[in-house]
Structures are given as structure tokens and as C-alpha cells.
Structure 1
Amino acid sequence: MIEYANLSGTQAQRYLAELTDVLQGCVEEGASVGFIDAQEIQVMTRFWQQRIASITDGDSELIVARQHGRIVATVMMSCSAMPNGRHRAEISKLLVHPQARRQGIARELMQHAEQRARAQGKTLLVLDTRSGDVASELYRSLGWQVAGSIPFYAESTAGVLDATTFMYKVLA
């Protein structure tokens, strides 16, 4: 059984090792999630600590999926800090540990994030993803639209500069 939960900063801090494990597993599999070396555990841990501070400050939310009591997937939603962007949020770090894939977890996490955004009165969601990645198809199937792409945007774990696609979803 898979359970979904929105974690507070205090709760996320308690699960720091599990969050880092999910991120490391995704980087090891070549995911384009900002990191290029899966052995840089300290860098990944610092990343999560910064994100936890953002959660604690109320600027971001973290939704996780647990399987057998352990975190196996994440998605983050960050609200715009600027007054003219209060209506939008950015989706990031949709991560599913390789051992937990192909169970619909990513889809469910995205739907949870969308529900949270609606509950907060958000009318626009944005994200970026490596162009051609399998995630693009998931996002399209959930009603996301392509805004455009930028070539040579991010270095992959293989050392290649990949394009990124920016997407959006207008919430009714």
C-alpha cells in the first residue's frame, strides 16, 4: 500500500536520510534533477536541508509517497515570492526511487500537488523537465502544455548538455 502525506519542515528533517536516498537513487539512474554525481551525498543532503528551510518558512510544500513505511517518492510545490505571482506555483523534484517506479506514484503525487495548489487559490502551475524525458509524457497526460524549450540548458549525469522544456498548467 502507498500512503501520501504533506510533510512539515520538522517532519521532513526527521526523514532527511530517506529524502536523500530517493534523490540519490534517481541521480544514479540518470535523472535530470539538478545533480550530476550520485556519490555527492553531502551536496544532496544540503539541498534537502535548504528545501526544508523553505518548507518551514511556508514558501514550499513537500508531498511524499511512503511504501512499507519508507519514503519512496517526492514532489515539491513552491509559491512565487513576488506579489505579482501569488496566483502561481512551481512544481519541482518529482522523484520516484527506481525500486518504486511503474506503480502510478508520480501521477498520484502530481494530482496531490495540483489539489494543494487549488486549495491555496493557485490558478497556474509551472515546471521544467529535460526535453524528451519520459516525464514529459506524464505531464502531457495530466493536461500540461509546452511553453517552449531551451537547448543546452543542463548538464546530464553523462556529461551531455541537454535541452529543457518548460511547461504550464492552467487550473480551472
Structure 2
Amino acid sequence: MPAPIRVLTAEEAAARSDELADVLLDCVAGGASVGFMASLPREQALAFWRRVAEGVGRGERVLLVAEDEEGRAVGTVQLVVAMPDNQPHRADVAKMLVHRRARRQGIAQRLLVAIDAQARAAGKTVLVLDTVTGGDAERLYARCGWEAVGSIPNYALMPDGAFCATTVFHKQL
């Protein structure tokens, strides 16, 4: 049975920060360039998710979670809906994370379908994201109808400190 995908309230996000931190820590330990370095302390991961929960509470973002059969978080993605006044139609997709033990089960693709639905419900017609050039996520986004805009060399660091290029994508809903 596929992992259920749910939208979390701010209260649920705060209450589940330990589970979400586990997913983030696993992804970083697995080499994912998602804004954190390999030495990511648990407290920093927890603080990140507390800030996300606060953003959900302020209506700045939507947080989706994929759950395993025990109801524990195994994947997550965010829709950042708080945009400048001249971009009310746009949103950013951020922090697509799937725990390594739950990969290759279609969770990321289902999270993307769910985030599209959330964006439409919020009146968004343009989505933007970026990902490591040449990685699995880049191929996933292309398969899911995202269009690559271009690649920026040396845009970010991998968790081990090596530079990586980033590909920017957009999707018109």
C-alpha cells in the first residue's frame, strides 16, 4: 500500500519535528545537497523544522509529509507560497526529502503530484525549484513535467564540502 501523503498543520509539524529531523538527517548523511553540511547536528535539524512549522502557522508555506505503514514520516516537501507582491501567482517547491529506506517506491513522485494540487488550490500557476545537476532528483523532475531553465556552476556545496552545480526548473500549472 502506498505511503499516505498529508498536509500538516503548524501544530502537527511542530509535534513531528523529531520525525522530520530524522528524514533530513538521513538525507544529508546520504549526501543530499539540501542546504546543510555533513556535520549537521540534530539540534540544528530540529530548529529548522520548528522554523518551518512557524512558517506554516503564518501561512507562508504548506508542508506535506509521506508516511510509512506505522504513520512515521518518510518523505516531505514544502510549497513556499509567501511571495513578493508582484508574484502572487508563483510558489517555490522546497526541501523535497525522502528517507533512504523509503526510496524507489514512488514517494517523491506522489509528493510532487500532491504539491501541484496544493499549489492549484492556493491559486498558484507557476512553480519554481532547484536541484543538484546530474542527480536523481533532476531526472525525477523532468519525468514529472518540470522544464529545466539552466544550470548554475558552483552554486552550492554538497554535504562533504565539494562544489556542485544546480539546475533550476519551472512548471506551469
Global fold match (TM > 0.5): yes
C-alpha distance in 2 between matches for 1:141 and 1:38: 32
2:109 matched to which residue of 1? Answer: 107
Match of 2:86, SS state, is helix
Query: 1:40: Cα distance to partner?
Result: 1.2
C-alpha distance in 2 between matches for 1:61 and 1:39: 24
Alignment of 1:61-140 (within 5 A): 61-67=62-68, 68-140=70-142
Query: 1:80: Cα distance to partner?
Result: 3.6
C-alpha distance in 2 between matches for 1:39 and 1:120: 33
**AA aligned opposite 2:5:** Y
C-alpha distance in 1 between matches for 2:118 and 2:72: 22
Cα pair 1:25 1:38 within 8 Å, conserved: no
1:145 matched to which residue of 2? Answer: 147
Q: Which residue of the other structure, out of 158, 161, 169, is the alignment partner of 1:159?
A: 161
Of residues 149-158 and 51-60 in structure 1, the stretch that sits farther from structure 2 once superposed is 149-158
1:9 matched to which residue of 2? Answer: 10
TM-score by length of 1: 0.96
Question: Structure 1: which 4+ aligned runs deviate by more than 3 Å?
Answer: none
Deviation readout 1:111-160 (Å, 9 max, x if unpaired): 00001111121110000001111101110011101111211111112221
C-alpha distance in 2 between matches for 1:115 and 1:27: 28
C-alpha distance in 1 between matches for 2:46 and 2:124: 30
Which sections of structure 1, spanning at least 5 residues, go unmatched?
none
TM-score by length of 2: 0.96
2:38 matched to which residue of 1? Answer: 37
Identity %: 42
Match of 2:152, SS state, is strand
How many corresponding residue pairs? 171
Aligned residues: CA RMSD: 1.0
C-alpha distance in 1 between matches for 2:84 and 2:151: 24
Deviation readout 1:31-64 (Å, 9 max, x if unpaired): 1100112541111111111111110000100000
Match of 1:84, SS state, is coil
Deviation readout 1:17-41 (Å, 9 max, x if unpaired): 0000000000010011001125411
